[in-house]
């Protein structure tokens, strides 16, 4: 998205400038390596946009934006360990390149670094910022635990799944935006509306991710299509399919879960989800949360022109190609 490119470039320079000690090298080299892997930098961009929405400069929101990004990368390092993931953005994960103990300890340092960056904000903003950061950090851990618990459960409900993605993914988007609003001296009402916007656009984004994982154009997706199906991961598509399926279709889905030919597994599951109607229901769910998010944005007592960057970002996130 072209209008966000200056924010991405600005943040990339500042992230590269984060000062880590040289020694012990096995503690700090993994952090320099991991932060250099790049990414969308969507969360810190949201903090900068949240501040600018209320008339504050991006420079004054920078340390909070970096705090959000550093915390997000801490969660990724630890998630990769728990998922036993060998790659992150097509590069070796920290625990693969070094080892698991180094990855755990380096991640811990990154978490603390998030606080060091956050407390650079003005004293009058520190209490609400730290309270919001602490609440969000706990919720992200709760979401990750729910996701791990779901792996061994066969009775996960739609509501539980939505709550899991809210906690694991969406609350950090809401937090990033609200931090910007705090720095911009927004009212508590406007702060809540902005948080709700971020949270609900995050839920819509994650639902879209579930759909894209199976139905995206392989040439545009950037990773293997059908990865969730191959690993029998519980997704909104999967949960809706199991609810809507006939007994015969359920038997076929269970049989497909043990299929060893991955392409057959992907193709047949994809066709079955279409027939059952799971894809259409998930697309409607995505649109519902997107609509809720946009209504929250409209409630903020700021002129429409100031909201345009956030509206454009929301539309960009919701229009990734299938």
Query: How far are the Cα atoms of 29, 72, 130, 182, 183 from residue 124, in angstroms, in the given order?
Result: 35, 25, 11, 10, 9
Angle in degrees, CA 1, 220, 262, rounded to 5: 145
The reported pLDDT for the residue numbered 241 is: 96
Mean of pLDDT values over 276-304: 96
Nearest to 62 by CA among 179, 162, 144: 179
Whole-angstrom distance, CA of residue 209 vs CA of residue 164: 14
For residues 213 and 225, the answer to whether their CB atoms sit within 8 Å is yes
Query: Does the pLDDT at position 144 exceed 60?
Result: yes
Contact yes or no for 144/101 (Cβ under 8 A): no
Assign 92 to helix, strand or coil: strand
Q: Are 180 and 49 in contact (CB under 8 A)?
A: yes
Q: Stretch 207-212: mean pLDDT, rounded?
A: 94
The predicted model gives 87-93 an average pLDDT of 89
Task: State how far the Cα of 134 lies from the Cα of 165, in Å rounded to an integer.
Answer: 18
pLDDT (0 to 100) of residue 221: 63
> Is 2-318 a domain of CATH 1.10.600.10?
yes
d(CA 61, CA 117): 11
CB 48 within 8 A of CB 64: no
* Phi, psi of 81, deg, nearest 5: -65, -50
Residue 199, C-beta contacts closer than 8 angstroms, at least 6 positions apart: 166, 170, 171, 173, 174, 293
Can you give the pLDDT at residue 29?
Answer: 97
pLDDT reading at 204 higher than 90: yes
Q: Which two tokens stand for residue 245?
A: 């399926």
Confidence of residue 321 (pLDDT cuts 50, 70, 90): low
pTM to 2 decimals?
0.94
Per-residue DSSP letter, 166: I
pLDDT band at 322 (very low <50, low <70, confident <90, very high): low
> Of 112 and 39, which is predicted with more confidence?
112
The span from the CA of 68 to the CA of 286, in Å, is 25
Mean pLDDT value across residues 28-35 = 97
Give the Å distances, CA to CA, from 304 to 64, 81, 169, 260, 298: 25, 43, 27, 53, 8
The whole-number pLDDT of residue 227 equals: 87
Percent over 70 (pLDDT), the chain? 97
DSSP-derived secondary structure letter, 15:
H
Does residue 220 surpass a pLDDT of 70?
no
Environment class of 141 (CB within 10 Å of its CB; exposed 0-12, middle 13-18, buried 19+): middle
Domain spans of the chain? 2-318
**pLDDT tens sequence across 151-203:** 899 899 999 999 999 999 999 999 999 999 999 999 999 999 999 999 999 99
């Amino acid at each position: 998205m072209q209008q966000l490119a200056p924010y991405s470039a600005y943040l990339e320079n500042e992230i590269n400038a984060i000062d880590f000690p040289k020694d012990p090298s096995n503690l700090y080299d993994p952090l320099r390596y991991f932060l250099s892997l790049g990414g969308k930098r969507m969360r810190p961009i949201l903090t900068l946009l949240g501040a600018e929405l209320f008339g504050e400069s991006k420079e004054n929101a920078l340390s909070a934006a970096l705090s959000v990004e550093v915390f997000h990368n801490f969660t990724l390092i630890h998630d990769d360990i728990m998922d036993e993931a060998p790659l992150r953005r097509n590069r070796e994960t920290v625990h693969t390149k070094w080892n698991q103990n180094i990855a755990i300890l380096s991640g811990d340092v990154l978490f603390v670094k998030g606080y060091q960056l956050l407390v650079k904000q003005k004293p009058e903003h520190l209490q609400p910022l730290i309270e919001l950061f602490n609440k969000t950090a706990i919720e992200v851990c709760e979401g990750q635990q729910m996701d791990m618990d779901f792996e061994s459960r066969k009775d996960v409900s739609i509501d539980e799944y939505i709550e899991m993605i809210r906690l694991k993914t969406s609350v950090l988007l809401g937090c990033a935006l609200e931090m910007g609003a705090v720095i911009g001296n927004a009212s508590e009402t406007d702060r809540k509306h902005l948080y709700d916007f971020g949270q609900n656009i995050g839920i819509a984004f994650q639902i879209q991710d579930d759909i894209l994982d199976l139905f995206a154009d392989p040439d545009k997706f950037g990773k293997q299509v059908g990865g969730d199906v191959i690993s029998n991961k519980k997704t909104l598509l999967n949960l809706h399919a199991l609810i809507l399926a006939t007994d015969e279709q359920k038997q076929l889905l269970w049989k497909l879960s043990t299929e060893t030919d991955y392409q057959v597994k992907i193709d047949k599951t994809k066709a079955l989800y279409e027939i059952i109607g799971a894809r259409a229901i998930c697309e409607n769910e995505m649109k519902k949360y997107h609509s809720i998010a946009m209504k929250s944005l409209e409630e903020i007592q700021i002129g429409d022109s100031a909201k345009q960057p956030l509206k454009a970002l929301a539309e960009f996130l919701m229009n990734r190609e299938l």
